[in-house]
Amino acid sequence: MSNLPPRITPPPLPGFPPQVPPVRPNRPPGSDMSVGLKIVLMGLLCCVLMIGALAIWLMAYDRNTTSADVSQDIVGQWGEKTYIDGPFLAIEPDTDSLKPAGIVPVALNVNANVETLSLHRGIYEAEVFTAAISMKGHFRSSDFKCFESDSIMVKIDIDPQNVTETSPLKIGDTTYVWSRSDSSLYTYIPIADVDKTDDVPFSTSIKARGSGGFFIMASADTNTITIIGNATNPSFSREQLPVSRTVGKDGFSAKWDIRHTVGGYSVCEYVGADFLIGVDRYQKVCRAIKYAFIIIILTFFSVFFTETTMHRPIPMFNYFLIGVALILFYSLLLGLSEHMSFGASYLIAAVMTIALITCYMWRMLDSKGVGLAICGVLSIMYGFCYVMLCISTYALLFGSLLLFVALAATMYGSLKIQYR
Amino acid sequence: MESQATQNMNQQMAQAPKLPTIPQPKYTMRWLGLQTIFVLGISIIFTMIASGIDSLAESRAELTLLSEAASTLVSNSTGYCFAITAISLLSLTLIEIGFRKPVNYLQYGLIGCALCLFFLLLLAMAEKMPFYIAYAIVTAMTVGLIGTFVKGIMTRAKAVALTAGILIVEYGIILLLLYMGSMALLIGSLSLFVILAIAMYFTLKLKVINSELTIQR
């Protein structure tokens, strides 16, 4: 500081008043409001607008709860999770011995085609499924020799409410019609009909319905279970993950190949997948509202930057209207998403909001360039917001990077703000 | 001597003809900014009062003084309190600027009270008569009261007609939404979008002329 040369003020010219530096008010040109007051009011406005966003969030949360209740009601009437165990040869329960309650087949091959469909009640809906299951396999012939009675019960444990149709059990060349009990399908086979010299093949098929999940017990010594379906969001059982699986937009397929070294039920587990019952539109709207504050702040800054660089004051009332348009986006999104897909709703609501604000800014400042610039800024923000809604794992990283870029852009923009 | 000269000067100044003074502009951008925050603030307060009326409707329904259907309709109608208060008072602000007739904060507060009292009257009347008749009577009472009040403040028939027209449209839309069921949210959002677009159109006519906000016709 001390090395700087002293500033020399030239003496005033004779007959002229001394020169004074021009007054530089700390306010945008043409505005009677200082920058500080304007920023404080913008902050207050943001807080008030966030109350509106909170109200929409509460509305979405409330509708989500109602939707879950209605979905459960629909599901209760259609059928809940489907568990299939069998077929196996049932043994009369004997409490005095340690015999197992059934004799499982040596090999079991199950193919299931699970088709999901939506059931609607008003604007609410629930995802349910119908399943076509074909089962093939064979028992050991020696297993039939231990039965002393004339006939033996073959059983499949499944909730009969889930069963819509059955085809007869085929053992060898003979067919047997299934009967229903409280918790299973069963049929009796005369021991005399069974060929005890070789393996005893069987096959049957069942049509079932349910919701929330579809599971099959891998009870045989060697199990090959294949499940295909059109659900796009299956969550496979964690105890036994499939050996091969594909999940895509058109559906999924999964295959389990399980071999038990020790027979019996103690080592058997259900394999299958859970499915989403309700729809996730409300969760997506709630997640979208989390980005409302940053979108409002960035939009306000863009408008403020435009106001300052164009030297055209914009009243706070106009800021308020722009903020209301930004909040109304979420209300439109919520309303539209109840009648169409979330993506289409987002697109329509975003286009409406961007078009409104763009036209407003264009007409307000009589500048097509400003309108296009605001349109670009809003399009980028809503585009990034949608991307963050679609990616789940990388949302935090992506959002942080986006904030960094937004901060850099804001810093760069603030360097351009100069008052004359 | 000096005091005598000062007295003479004061007398001369007192006798001199008074020059017209330039009034300070009232409708400035700062005023509009503060007015917007004020309107939103009192709208939030009245919304809280309306939620109290909502609770009262539920308790009256529990006491079987109000039918379940009417209670639901009254509760749903209180949900629109913020929108109707904010839109009405902000419209009045624009009308005030347009007609250059000052409306003070107390008068804004009183109009807000009338808008909030609508819901209490609706609850009270819905206990004694069908909901839609109660709604029509209370709407007429509220619009009449506010219209008369605005007439007293502004003394301009056009301002009264504008205020009354805006209120009637608002209450009409709310009545439609109440009977619309599951489509109410979508139709309500689209209606708000249209109202917002109209408000934006009018604010485009808001210009600063001689440091004062003016609506250009």
In this complex, is the C-beta atom of B192 within 8 Å of any C-beta atom belonging to chain A? Answer: yes
Q: Inter-chain contact A339–B206, Cβ cutoff 8 Å?
A: no
Average pLDDT over residues B69-80: 90
Q: For residues A339 and B186, is the Cβ–Cβ distance under 8 A?
A: yes
- Using 50 as the pLDDT threshold, list the residues of chain A that sit under it: 1-2, 24-25, 95, 97-99, 263-266
What's the CA dihedral at A28, A31, A32, A35 to 10 degrees? -30
Determine the pLDDT at residue A10.
58
Are A55 and B199 inside 8 Å of each other by CB?
no
The whole-number pLDDT of residue A1 equals 41
The values of phi and psi at residue A217, to 5°, are -80, 125
A41 contacts chain B (CB < 8 A)? yes
CA distance A35 to chain B (A): 11
Q: Calculate the average pLDDT of chain B.
A: 87
For tokens 């960035």, name the residue. Answer: A298
Distance (Å, whole) CA A118 – CA A126? 6
> Does an H or E element contain A249, and which?
none
Q: Could you tell me if A299 and A326 are in contact, meaning their C-beta atoms sit under 8 angstroms apart?
A: yes
Half-sphere exposure of B71 (CA within 13 A, CB side): 14
* Cβ–Cβ under 8 Å, residues A177 and A187: yes
Which pLDDT value is given to residue A197? Answer: 67
CB A70 within 8 Å of CB A123:
no
Residues B60, B123: contact at Cβ < 8 Å?
A: yes
User: Quick one: pLDDT at residue A383?
Assistant: 92
Nearest CB partner across the interface for B32, out of A316, A324, A339: A316
What pLDDT, on a 0 to 100 scale, did the predictor assign at position A22?
52
Q: A215 and A81 in contact (C-beta within 8 Å)?
A: yes
What is the per-residue pLDDT for A2? 43
For chains A and B, CB pairs below 8 A equal: 101
- In this prediction, residues B159-175 reach a mean pLDDT of 94
Token pair of A8, please? 């020399």
> pTM of the full predicted structure?
0.72
Q: What is the pLDDT of residues B52-67, one digit of tens each?
A: 999 999 888 888 888 8
Q: Min CA distance, B152 vs chain A (Å)? A: 26
> CA torsion sign, B39 to B160 to A321 to B178?
positive
pLDDT at A9: 54
Dihedral of the CA atoms A44, A50, A51, A55 (nearest 10)?
A: 170
Q: Does A37 touch chain B (CB under 8 A)?
A: yes
pLDDT for A351-362, tens place per residue? 999 999 999 999
- Given phi > 0 = left and psi -120 to 50 = alpha, else beta, which region is B121? alpha
B211 and A32 in contact by Cβ < 8 A? yes
- Beta carbons of B95 and B35 less than 8 angstroms apart: no
- Encoded amino acid at A367, one letter: S
Prediction ipTM score: 0.74
Q: Which of A52, A338, A352 sits opposite B193 (nearest CB)?
A: A352
B37 contact residues in A (CB cutoff 8 A): 41, 44-45, 48, 316
Q: A27 in helix, strand or coil? A: coil
* Token code pair at residue B215: 């609506």
With both helix axes pointing from N to C terminus, report the angle between A292-310 and A316-337 in degrees, rounded to the nearest 10: 150
Instruction: Write out chain A residues lying below 8 Å of B211, CB-based.
Output: 32
Cα separation, A105 vs A144, whole angstroms: 11
Looking at residue B136, its pLDDT comes to 95
Give the ranges where A210-291 is alpha helix by DSSP (H). 281-289
